[in-house]
């Protein structure tokens, strides 16, 4: 099965055909990635200097609708960044509403990010090294079973593509790494929440997803031997993915925008395809 499905929409608020809606829903829930090869996100003139500023060492500059911009240092104008990300979030919402009407009443807005640093050659810890295949899981922001639906756009001002690798299906990942996962220890989730290490309670689901994320990245033999394929996203292209289920790695590229949306599993056409349902089936116990 191809990992990638192209949807030729070129406007964020364009209405998707019924066939496009059906294809998009099926592809995402099956663990494929949607690419919108003609969906660019044009910057306004005053925003263009954001692509030439000194990025510093931050991997991402994150934007939380309720808390504003984080990690921008002195190199960027926070108000300008916040306005840009707010606009991007609105555009991604329009796109998802048009493409995935089934999800519309259930979408919960997560953080957004501006990713101004070249990925290739970036020095980081193994756990934060996104050039290694992984599934997404947020240590500080438990999703408690909700899906992580992310929209990305390459906004590089010239020709640099953003290059990703995609790896094995989630079921295979879970079967390989669950046997070596430790069980959640009683009291730890409450302690983490009390210490404000997590923003809400880390459920057993979040615990196992973090374990999968870390175990995948830490296993260099797995990284080398698992079947994987590269995909390129040119400037002016957008892609959408359930990044909690799709094994992915970002190899190179600079200047991308990303917006996260959270979705309750019950909103899916087929909740059995959620990582929550797959992990609960494999472990034979409720996790959220
Ligand atoms: Fe990721």
Given a cut of 60, whether residue 57 has pLDDT beyond it is no
Nearest to 189 by CA among 78, 287, 89, 52: 287
Please give the pLDDT value at position 285.
Answer: 96
For residue range 71-89, what is the model confidence (pLDDT) as tens digits?
777 778 888 999 999 999 9
**CA-to-CA distance for 72 and 26, rounded, in angstroms?**
37
The whole-number pLDDT of residue 1 equals 63
Centroid of ligand 1 to alpha carbon of 230 (angstroms): 15
Distance from the alpha carbon of residue 241 to the mean position of ligand 1, in angstroms: 10
How far is the centre of ligand 1, averaged over its atoms, from the C-alpha of 136 (Å)? 5
* pLDDT value at residue 274: 98
Residue among 24, 47, 145, 93 nearest 260 (CA): 93
Residue whose C-alpha is closest to residue 162's, from 241, 68, 63, 85:
241
Identify the CA nearest to 256 among candidates 122, 117, 56.
117
Which helix (H) or strand (E) is 170 found in, with range? helix 170-177
Contact 159, 189 (CB under 8 A): no
**Res 55: pLDDT:** 55
Tell how far the Cα of 206 is from the centroid of ligand 1, in angstroms: 15
- For residue 213, report the distance from its CA to the centre of ligand 1, in Å: 9
Give the residue-averaged pLDDT of 247-264.
97
Q: How far is the CA of 87 from the centre of ligand 1 (A)?
A: 22
CA of 118 to the centre of ligand 1 (A): 15
Q: Which residues pair with 162 in a beta bridge?
A: 233
CA of 131 to the centre of ligand 1 (A): 9
| Segment among 32-36, 58-62, 92-96, 266-270 with least mean pLDDT | 58-62
Q: How confident is the model at residue 23 (pLDDT cuts 50, 70, 90)?
A: very high
Do 150 and 261 form a contact (C-beta atoms < 8 A)? Answer: yes
For the chain, give the percent of residues with pLDDT over 70: 97
Express each pLDDT in 143-160 by its tens digit. 999 999 999 999 999 999
In whole numbers, what is the pLDDT of the chain averaged over residues? 94
Quote the pLDDT of residue 225. Answer: 97
Give me ligand 1 centre to Cα 257, in Å: 13
pLDDT value at residue 135: 98
75 CA to middle of ligand 1, Å? 25
What mean pLDDT comes out for the span 100-124? 93
């Amino acid at each position: 099965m191809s990992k990638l499905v192209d949807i030729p929409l070129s406007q964020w608020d364009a209405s998707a055909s019924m066939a496009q809606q059906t294809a998009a829903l099926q592809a995402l829930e099956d663990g494929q990635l949607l690419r919108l090869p003609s969906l660019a996100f044009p910057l306004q003139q005053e925003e263009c200097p954001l692509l030439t500023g000194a990025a510093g060492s931050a991997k991402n500059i994150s934007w939380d609708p309720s808390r504003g911009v984080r990690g921008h240092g002195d190199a960027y104008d926070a108000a300008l960044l916040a306005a840009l990300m707010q606009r991007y979030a609105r555009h991604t919402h329009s796109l998802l509403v048009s493409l995935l009407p089934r999800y519309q009443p259930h979408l919960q807005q997560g953080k957004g990010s501006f990713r101004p640093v070249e990925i290739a050659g970036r020095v980081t810890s193994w756990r934060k090294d996104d050039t290694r295949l992984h599934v997404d899981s947020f240590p500080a922001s438990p999703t408690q079973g909700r899906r992580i639906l992310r929209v990305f756009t390459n906004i590089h001002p010239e020709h640099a593509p953003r290059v990703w690798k995609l790896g094995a299906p989630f079921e295979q990942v879970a079967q390989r790494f669950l046997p070596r996962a430790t069980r959640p220890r009683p009291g730890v989730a409450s302690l983490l929440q009390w210490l404000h290490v997590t923003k809400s309670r880390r459920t057993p689901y979040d615990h196992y997803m973090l374990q999968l994320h870390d175990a995948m990245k830490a296993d260099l033999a797995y990284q080398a031997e698992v079947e994987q394929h590269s995909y390129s996203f040119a400037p002016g292209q957008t892609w959408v993915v359930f990044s909690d289920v799709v094994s992915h790695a970002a190899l190179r590229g600079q200047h991308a925008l990303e917006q996260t949306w959270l979705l309750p599993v019950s909103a899916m056409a087929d909740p059995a395809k959620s990582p929550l349902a797959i992990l609960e089936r494999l472990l034979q116990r409720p996790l959220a």
